[in-house]
Structure 1
Amino acid sequence: MALVLSVVFALVAFAGNSVLCRLALLANPSAPIDAASFTWIRLASAAVTLLILVQFTQSEKPLSKRYWADVFSGTFKSSGLGAAYLFLYAACFSFAYISLDTGIGALLLFSTVQITMITVGLINGARLSMVEWVGLLLAAVGFLALVWPDLTSPAWLPSVLMIIAGLGWAFYTLAGKGASNPLQVTTFNFVRTLPLCVVLALVFGLFQDITMNGFILAAISGAITSGCGYAIWYRALRDLNTTQAAVLQLTVPVLAAFAGVVFAGESLDVHFYVTSTMILGGVAIVIITGAKMRARAA
């Protein structure tokens, strides 16, 4: 029961990031917050929340000098790439949601992540069966069908930004793969984004366009749906295999799409239904078929 509740909370939190960001940036520039401020408040709130969680759950405490020595020593090493990928994801995510609907943004994000992870696997020598290739082709065609109307119109930039956000999240995930202490590594990465947040705030103007509602939405996105959401998800991963985790994440764009209808007054058309079915169905075929083949080989 605890595992089910943890998984449900984490998946709702992931979808909640899209909803909160879209609500905060809706009808920009008259929105309650600008995209740059949403980004740095979200990352800073998540960093603070994760530091508190680490303080009460980990042996190495943030109040010790050694902890901060580890944080700063890894910033300019290969381990610091995780923070760069995380910041790239968060910034592009926010700026994309100025114009994208909640469901389309989440679908672009998560499909980019899954397709990128599969592609990296192929580059590293993975072999796909005929069924898996069909699934990947179905997902790729659905992905192109989803973005093509925007890429052929003046509104192409938000879609490209969300695709870049997906690439950032995919490489962030790959950089942290196999971490012995995911919560600690996640906290390090969020803390290491703070200097980049300062640069972002200075470039776009500190507290440029922030109302109290905007600040609250960004802080909730950081503290609850990012900080707590990621912490609970990584804890749940201990009891989930890779296939279960990947398939469960495919529900996030669906949750986000319907939340966008309920909370942001958006609408879903036939184009979204068809392309989302192609993308999520194709990725699910690759994941599930691959898991069955590995099980038989074992």
Structure 2
Amino acid sequence: MGLHNKVQTISYTIIALIAFAANSILCRIALKDNAIDASSFTIIRLLSGALLFILIFSFKTKPVTSRSDRQSRNWKPGAMLFIYAITFSFAYISLDTGTGALILFGAVQLTLIFTSITKGNKLHISEWLGLIISFFGLVYLVYPTLTTPSISGFLLMGLSGIAWGVYTLIGRGSDNPMKDTAFNFKVTIPLVLCLMLFTFPMVNLSFRGVVLAVSSGAFASALGYTIWYMALKGLSETEAGVVQLSVPVIAAIGGVLFVSEPINTRLIIASIFVLTGILAVLIGRGSLQKSKVNL
């Protein structure tokens, strides 16, 4: 990978991770403050993402053709997107933020690492060490808020993490990130309509809740996931997994910058551990690639 491509991958990854952190914050605020119910949040989130893509493509006059045009009829990533979104929302009703983050990203890590190993990819010792260090940093960050999760909350968030891991794996093969992400949101529409029919009696809406859901769907999700697909072209399964451990850290830093939350020693130490672990994984991946070239 050339220097230009590396810079692009790093830039896309950072932007996508910020979007993920924003998503986490928006969902947490909306559901914890009872500004909206979990199903309505998911419905508005996914529909607003789909509508944004309809708006974007309505301005395109020249059709873009690519290899992914022939493959974009794959409904699996859209189904994974829906499963991730709905289980994520309902899980946060019964889980606190720290416990939810730990279960979610733990499931994502296991999914991506297991897939990488089953493909025959060997992890460098520094990659294993980096994963452990980063995960320790995440545990250290959320430890004060950890509580024993309910069985339903644990299962829902675990399923959400697995679904997002699969969504990420499929995204590594995307040839046209925007068009593929748009199609994924389109696939969720029938599922969203079914969800709407089943959960209509439980609807709880407020203007603030709707704004939070639209912001999550149209910007943090639709655009964020498009950029994530762009970043995945330059990331291995292990790298894609470990960088996501920084999301809770970014969310905490965002709270310091934008919500005037106090910065503390725990956040600083956790950030150092997570970033050190990510660096170790990147170094390990580079060592593996060099060894393969020398062979």
Q: What interval of TM-score do these two structures reach, taking the shorter chain for normalisation?
A: 0.7 to 0.9
Residue of structure 1 in register with 2:53 after alignment:
50
CA contact (8 A) 1:80 1:192 kept: yes
Residue of structure 2 in register with 1:21 after alignment:
27
Deviation per residue, 1:29-86 (Å, 9 max, x gap): xx1100011011101101111222233358448xxxxx9xx98xx3xxxx11111111
Deviation per residue, 1:98-152 (Å, 9 max, x gap): 2444455445434432332121110111122344344455567788899999998
The answer as to 2:185 corresponding to 1:190 is yes
CA contact (8 A) 1:139 1:282 kept: yes
- Select 1:289's aligned residue among 261, 284, 294: 284
Residue of structure 2 in register with 1:64 after alignment:
none
| Cα distance between partner residues in 2 of 1:83 and 1:110 | 20
When residues 181 and 6 of structure 1 are mapped into structure 2, their CA distance, relative to the original with a 3 A threshold, is closer
- What is the identity percentage for the equivalent residue pairs of Structure 1 and Structure 2? 40
1:156 Cα deviation after fit: 4.7
Residue of structure 2 in register with 1:228 after alignment:
223
1:167 Cα deviation after fit: 0.8
1:10 Cα deviation after fit: 3.2
| Cα distance between partner residues in 1 of 2:284 and 2:248 | 22
Match of 1:158, SS state, is helix
Residue of structure 1 in register with 2:18 after alignment:
12
- Select 1:201's aligned residue among 192, 196, 219: 196
Deviation per residue, 1:179-202 (Å, 9 max, x gap): 221211111111111111112122
- Select 1:37's aligned residue among 33, 37, 40: 40
Deviation per residue, 1:156-210 (Å, 9 max, x gap): 5434322221110110122232122121111111111111111212222267101
- Select 2:212's aligned residue among 213, 217, 230: 217
CA contact (8 A) 2:127 2:280 kept: yes
CA contact (8 A) 1:142 1:278 kept: yes
Residue of structure 2 in register with 1:87 after alignment:
82
CA contact (8 A) 1:12 1:252 kept: yes
Letter in 1 for 2:52: T
1:212 Cα deviation after fit: 1.1
| Cα distance between partner residues in 2 of 1:178 and 1:248 | 19
What TM-score, normalized to structure 1?
0.74
When residues 284 and 20 of structure 1 are mapped into structure 2, their CA distance, relative to the original with a 3 A threshold, is same
When residues 207 and 19 of structure 1 are mapped into structure 2, their CA distance, relative to the original with a 3 A threshold, is same
When residues 288 and 215 of structure 1 are mapped into structure 2, their CA distance, relative to the original with a 3 A threshold, is same
**1:1-298 mapped onto 2 (5 Å cutoff):** 8-27=14-33, 31-57=34-60, 59-60=62-63, 74=73, 79-102=74-97, 104-136=99-131, 153=148, 155-205=150-200, 208-235=203-230, 237=231, 241-242=234-235, 246=240, 248-260=243-255, 282=277, 285-298=280-293
Letter in 1 for 2:42: T
Letter in 2 for 1:190: F
